[in-house]
């Protein structure tokens, strides 16, 4: 296992209990939407305590690694939240194919709450590299504290081809998604969020013939995503 050491730079508060932890890249090269595992040995002796997987919420062109997450009482999150500038984290196993497929066709993004991290990486990357954002983004949140909303809103203002549809306080269902797509259900749907939702809604969408890419976040449920 190849492990790299990343230096912590700063914390950035986002909406609600979401924070972004900013690290130097350590020379890491990634594709927007990918994830990796992180180790904080002092979080505890077991792997459940000291290792977590996170999407890199930053675009490669930002030249920083971002972990954006909801702060919880878990040992890992407590240790992450206590980091001071200059502290380090170990990272390994960069991977994942929840990345943009260059077909030229318009696509649909569907996020549940903090499941928006890969979409932040992809959208910022496409904007910075002057590519079109031909995306309809259905962005579900439990309440109106919506992570990255300002950034997504300014992208929508800048790119007329990008449609942002925030949906607050509604249960995420296949019928609601298809109802909001208004004839775009033939487009590839990228679905990211709490694992139980991505499993159940993903299965329903597939059964209805939708071409689907999925990204599952364990540790989140309908109650805390």
Give the binding site for ligand FAD (CB under 6 A). 35, 52-55, 57, 68-70, 72-77, 114, 117, 217-219
State which residue, 115 or 162, has the beta carbon closest to ligand FAD: 115
CB 135 within 8 A of CB 123: yes
**Shortest CA distance to 55 belongs to which of 98, 3, 84?**
98
Smallest distance, ligand FAD to C-beta of residue 69, A: 3
- Tell me the two tokens of residue 130: 């002057």
State which residue, 159 or 192, has the beta carbon closest to ligand FAD: 192
Smallest distance, ligand FAD to C-beta of residue 53, A: 4
Smallest distance, ligand FAD to C-beta of residue 164, A: 19
State which residue, 111 or 174, has the beta carbon closest to ligand FAD: 111
What is the C-alpha to C-alpha distance for residues 67 and 19, in angstroms, rounded to an integer? Answer: 8
Smallest distance, ligand FAD to C-beta of residue 130, A: 26
Residue 150, beta-bridge partner list: none
What is the C-alpha to C-alpha distance for residues 186 and 216, in angstroms, rounded to an integer? Answer: 22
Smallest distance, ligand FAD to C-beta of residue 78, A: 8
State which residue, 69 or 136, has the beta carbon closest to ligand FAD: 69
State which residue, 42 or 186, has the beta carbon closest to ligand FAD: 42
User: 63 — alpha (psi -120 to 50), left (phi > 0) or beta?
Assistant: left
Angle between helices 149-158 and 117-128 (to 10 degrees): 30
State which residue, 119 or 181, has the beta carbon closest to ligand FAD: 119
Smallest distance, ligand FAD to C-beta of residue 187, A: 23
**Shortest CA distance to 49 belongs to which of 73, 18, 71, 70?**
73
Q: Which residue is nearest to ligand FAD (CB)?
A: 219
Smallest distance, ligand FAD to C-beta of residue 136, A: 22
Q: Which residue has the tokens 């909406």?
A: 15
State which residue, 75 or 202, has the beta carbon closest to ligand FAD: 75
Order the strands of the 18-23 sheet from edge to edge: 51-55, 35-39, 88-95, 3-13, 18-23, 65-70
Task: Give residues with Cβ within 8 angstroms of 107, minimum separation 6.
Answer: 101, 134, 135, 136, 187, 188, 189, 190
């Amino acid at each position: 296992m190849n492990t790299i050491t990343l230096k912590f730079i700063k914390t950035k508060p986002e909406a609600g209990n979401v924070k972004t932890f900013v690290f130097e890249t350590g020379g890491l090269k990634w594709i927007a939407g990918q994830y990796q595992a992180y180790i904080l040995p002092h979080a505890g002796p077991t792997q459940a305590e000291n290792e977590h997987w996170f999407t890199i919420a930053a675009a490669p062109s930002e030249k920083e690694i971002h972990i954006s997450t909801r702060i919880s009482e878990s040992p890992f999150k407590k240790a992450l939240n206590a980091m001071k500038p200059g502290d380090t984290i170990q990272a390994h196993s960069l991977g994942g194919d929840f990345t943009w497929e260059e077909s030229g066709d318009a696509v649909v993004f569907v996020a549940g709450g903090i499941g928006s991290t890969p979409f932040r990486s992809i959208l910022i990357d496409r904007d910075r590299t002057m590519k079109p954002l031909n995306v309809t983004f259905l962005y579900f949140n439990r309440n109106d504290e919506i992570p990255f909303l300002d950034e997504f809103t300014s992208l929508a203002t800048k790119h007329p081809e990008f449609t942002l549809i925030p949906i607050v306080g509604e249960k995420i269902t296949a019928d609601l998604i298809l109802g909001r797509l208004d004839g775009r259900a033939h487009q590839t749907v990228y679905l990211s969020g709490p694992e139980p939702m991505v499993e159940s809604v993903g299965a329903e969408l597939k059964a209805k013939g939708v071409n689907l890419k999925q990204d599952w976040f364990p540790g989140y449920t309908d109650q805390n995503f």
